[in-house]
Amino acid sequence: MRYMLVCATIEDAKLSDVKLTFAERAILANQFQILEKVDQSHAVDYEQAREIVEKGYEFLYETINAAISTASVPHESSEEVYNILDMFRAAELSASRAGTTSEELSLAFEGFDGNNEDHHFGFAYFVRRRQGKWSELSRHPDNSHAVMLPRYRQMLEMWHSFGKPHEMSEEQLELLAAKR
């Protein structure tokens, strides 16, 4: 289904626990009615969603919320992703200027574990693939299929001790690689 239910009452609750006020239900029903007219190819889906919210079938709210995560990505996780990607961008640039590659130096970004580092994985995927940021890392994978944060955090600590330079010396690159 292509529609999403967005309301202020969804925080970190389970979708089946969501309660909509009469006003929220009326607004959503109106939105789905408009979507029925605008997107004829999915009119039946929108009609069903409209009926679900009009009748207050709370058990079925989950079916129209499938695309919305109940958990948010903490600011700290997002900031950490930015720092990690900046560090790997600096390693990529520095390796290139030294006439080598991040792969040869064992400093290539390997992604985040999609199963165990889901906040980091999802946010990194969004900013890299959807927003097009850190394009110099685009050839590197999104999913490491292994937990990476402990290693990345050790590397970040080292990079921060260098002053977070955008260009690192060969010695700094070697020290950073040793933290992997």
Q: How close are the terminal C-alpha atoms of the chain, in Å?
A: 43
Phi-psi region of 108 (alpha: psi -120 to 50; beta: other; left: phi over 0): beta
Kindly give, in sequence order, each residue whose CB lies less than 8 Å from that of residue 5, ignoring residues fewer than 6 positions away.
Answer: 28, 49, 53, 61, 64, 65, 68
pTM of the entire structure? 0.70
Query: Tokens at residue 44, please?
Result: 């039946």
Beta bridge partner(s), residue 143: 112
Query: 44-61, pLDDT tens digit by residue?
Result: 989 999 999 999 998 888
Q: Which domains does the chain have, with CATH numbers?
A: 1-72 (1.10.287.680), 75-178 (1.10.3190.10)
Q: Please give the angle made by the CA atoms of 97, 101 and 102, to the nearest 5 degrees.
A: 105
Q: Over 70: is that where the pLDDT of 3 sits?
A: no
pLDDT band of 4, cuts 50, 70, 90: very low
Distances 128 to 81, 82, 122, 165 between C-alpha atoms, Å: 11, 10, 10, 21
